[in-house]
Structures are given as structure tokens and as C-alpha cells.
Amino acid sequence: MNKSNFSRRRVLQAASSLAGFGLLGPALAAAPKRILILGGTGFLGPAIVEVAKSRGHTLTLFNRGKTRPGLFPDIEKRQGDRDPLKGEGLKSLATGEWDAVIDDSGYYPRMVGASAQLLAPRVKQYLYISSISCYKEPSPINGDEDAPLAVLADPNVEDMGKNFANYGGLKAACEAAAEAALPGRTTIVRPGYIVGPDDPTGRFTYWPVRFDKGGEVAVPGAPSDPFQVIDVRDLAAWLVLAVETGTTGRFNALGPDKPMNWGRVISACQKAAKASSTLAWIPGEFIAKQDDIEFPIWAPYLGDTKGFHTWQNQRAVQAGMRFRPIEQTVADTLAWYQGQLKVEKGRTKLAFTAEQEADVLKRWKDANQAKAG
């Protein structure tokens, strides 16, 4: 099988349970929409494409043609760059009308503003994929969509900065650029960590894969720590629903609908694994003091990161967002990772190494021994 066939099958598998999940139902949408995706071939984009296609909508993808160019040969593509100053820029979008634009590749306000202004006369709705990082740090406990936003020290900055320090402020500025171009016609979507099959980041994926190996697993924090993520398939399904219903406004997009704790995620990983494991819980207080150790996705439930996994999501839930059980996300992510490893070695690099795990375990055991001695 060649790589592009595999990529296509992999994406189809990743999206396969969308229609059956019940949010949108298996039937075609009553009124098919014309949807333009700015991006579309990374992680969230393909999940949106699959669900939109299954609902009978017509799609156009705009991107540079660099990321997985073999994907979706049957869909209209327009080539260009989000940056109007680079190459042909947005020229290929000079014509055309769409019911909705889903902008899931916007990182700089100048570029989001340019596409939003260009398209405003020819689209009804502009959905901008922002991030939960758009809020001012530290995250409040149980914050909602009215929490204060991050503000850039230099509003013209066009790099992410050290440790991605500008990412949140840039996302907030991008939201404002979209809203200014299409007042009352924007849907601002603020996802937490997007996870599930096809995730290229290796952050959430680390956990099911690590447990599958078995043995003593270093686990940060406590089972009662709150935990929030969103399965890419649930986010994609809601975005398509928001297009179908013309939903506008600002929405945190992360689940589940009832509070979930980290212990449930760990149990789900143990259940999905072929090997058995023992848990070495390392308290959040200890981890927070290790400046060079950062476990993927989990954050210490204390100090400045205490609110990190406690965002409210009622607005999105009321607007139809639904979440599959974390057990399903864990099992599907593990199955996908094992399948893709054979063909696409290295696209998804796990975000924590065996060496890092051994190192933190040793530090914790040494600290305990020192205390006992």
C-alpha cells in the first residue's frame, strides 16, 4: 500500500465512529452547506472533512499543499499561503462563495484579519479555531468564556516566543481580528487539548502507549485531579453542527460534560493495555518543583496551574457539543498508534521518553529514601 492510500485509510478510520456517535446522526443534513476550510490536512482538518462529507456538505480546502498532499483527492483545493505577503498569498480565494469558513490554521492576527476581510462579503459565517490558551494566565478555577484574555506585550509580534509564550495572546488577537471583520457572524471556538486517533503531537497518546508496555508506570499527581480534553472527532462533529445551525458566539470546547478525574484516564489506559502495570504515583507538589520535568497533558493541581483542567463548557454543551467516553478515546488512540507505527514511523513522536520517566522515578524514590533515612 502506498503512503497516501494509507493516510487516507488512517484518516477514515480515525473518523469512522463520527456518524454512529449520535451527535449528527447517520442521515444527510437537511440543507447541504458549502464549507471552506483554511487548512484541512493536519489533525483537526481531516476529522472535519470526514464528518462534513458524511453529512453531504460541499468542501473546499485552502492550504500550501505541503502537509499530506495526497489526502482527499476528490475535494476542491485552492493553493496559497495564509500570509498575503508570501508567494501567491490569498489570491486563489479571490472568487467563490461559501456558507461557512472554518479557519483552523490561523496563528497571527494580521493573517486571520486578511482572510476574514477578504471573505466577509462572500461568506455567511466564520468559525475561528482559537484555543483555551487564549485566556490570561494563570487560568482561573472553573473559568468561563468571560474570563480575561491574554494580552500581547507587542501587538505586532509574529513569532511564538520562548516556550510558545506568545501563543495565547496571539490566539486572542486572532479572535478579535475575525470578529472585527465579521461582527455577529463569527463562531470563536476555544478547544483544550485536542486528542484521539491521528494526533501528531504524541501528548495524550503517550499515556495509552506507555501503559500498553506495562511494568511500573510513573504517574503524576493524584487520581482525584480534574482532567479535561476533547476527542478530535467530537470537536469536528460539533463544528459541523455549528455550521448546520448557524451557531455564533464564543465557546470553550473541552470535555466531558460532567467533571472527570485523572484517575479515570489512568484506569482506562490500564484497561486498554495488553500488559499489566503497577502505578508509582508521584505527588503534584514534588513534580511542580522539578523545573525540567513536564508530564504530557496533566498539570499540577496546585498553584498557577490549579485551574488548568477546570474550564466550564456549559455554553458549548447547550449548543449541542457531546463527548464520547474517555475509555473509547483511549482504546481508539492506542489502536490507531499501533497501526500507524508500521507505515508512518515517526510522524507521532511520543511527548515523554523512557529516560525521562526513569529519571523522575529515581528522583522521587531518592527523595523518599532521604526522608526515611
Ligand X SMILES: NC(=O)c1ccc[n+]([C@@H]2O[C@H](COP(=O)([O-])OP(=O)(O)OC[C@H]3O[C@@H](n4cnc5c(N)ncnc54)[C@H](OP(=O)(O)O)[C@@H]3O)[C@@H](O)[C@H]2O)c1
Q: What residue ranges bind ligand X (CB under 6 A)?
A: 39-46, 63-67, 81-83, 104-105, 129, 131, 191, 193-194, 201
Establish whether the linkage from the previous residue to 191 is cis, with ω within 30° of 0: no
**How many other CB atoms are found less than 10 A from the CB of residue 183?**
9
CB of 228 or CB of 270, closer to ligand X: 228
Burial of 67 from C-beta contacts in 10 A (0-12 / 13-18 / 19+): middle
The DSSP 8-state label assigned to residue 322 in this structure reads -
Nearest approach, Cβ of residue 101 and ligand X (Å): 12
CB of 44 or CB of 287, closer to ligand X: 44
CB of 21 or CB of 193, closer to ligand X: 193
CB of 147 or CB of 222, closer to ligand X: 147
Nearest approach, Cβ of residue 207 and ligand X (Å): 14
> H or E stretch including 239?
helix 232-245
Backbone angles phi, psi at 208, to 5 degrees: -60, -35
The DSSP 8-state label assigned to residue 24 in this structure reads S
Q: Are 259 and 192 in contact (CB under 8 A)?
A: no
Nearest approach, Cβ of residue 372 and ligand X (Å): 40
254, 207, 21, 130: CA torsion to nearest 10: 30
| SS3 category, 205 | coil
CB of 82 or CB of 324, closer to ligand X: 82
Chain residue at closest Cβ approach to ligand X = 42
Q: Is the dihedral of CA 342, 347, 348, 350 positive or negative?
A: positive
CB of 202 or CB of 214, closer to ligand X: 202
CB of 43 or CB of 364, closer to ligand X: 43
Q: Are 315 and 247 in contact (CB under 8 A)?
A: no
Nearest approach, Cβ of residue 192 and ligand X (Å): 7
Nearest approach, Cβ of residue 204 and ligand X (Å): 8
CB of 11 or CB of 288, closer to ligand X: 11
Distance CA 350, CA 270 (A): 18
Nearest approach, Cβ of residue 308 and ligand X (Å): 13
Establish whether the linkage from the previous residue to 138 is cis, with ω within 30° of 0: yes
Encoded amino acid at 117, one letter: Q
Nearest approach, Cβ of residue 252 and ligand X (Å): 11
Distance CA 37, CA 93 (A): 11
Nearest approach, Cβ of residue 172 and ligand X (Å): 12
Q: Are 181 and 126 in contact (CB under 8 A)?
A: yes
